[in-house]
Homo-oligomer: A and B are copies of this chain.
């Protein structure tokens, strides 16, 4: 019996093939997945069912739902490490590539009263080695 099925059982929801496959996909993914990402991975799944499976996983606490910069919902398995927390991204303005730098995340700045911090992201823009070489 799969560990994923156990998670569903413990969370108190019915164990269905769809839920197992979706939760497996979320747990295997290195980053939060959009509905479209999941549809690509789970080729034969119904669109609407996928939405409902995701909602049920969020409702029972097994998945987290967030909005990305494009306004699309992204889902991640609860408890999974979030690799982009405190990460430093380098965005190449030439090729559009995104590189994850090893640099230490910056210290969280002081916030005004009442503000709650969730995530800090340092976004560095410039030209990557490849593009800089091509056409300075």
Contact = CB atoms under 8 A, between A and B. Distances in A.
Identical chains in the assembly: 2
A124 B119 contact: yes
Given A67-B69, A93-B67, A124 B103 contact: no
A127 B112 CA distance: 11
Given A71-B72, A121-B123, A122-B123, A128 B114 contact: yes
Contacts of A70: 67
B125 A111 contact: no
Interface residues of A, number: 41
A116 B126 contact: yes
A116 B127 contact: yes
A123 B123 contact: yes
A129 B114 contact: yes
Given A109-B124, A113-B129, A120-B124, 10 more contacts: A67-B69, A93-B118, A101-B110, A106-B106, A109-B122, A111-B124, A114-B133, A115-B127, A118-B125, A119-B125
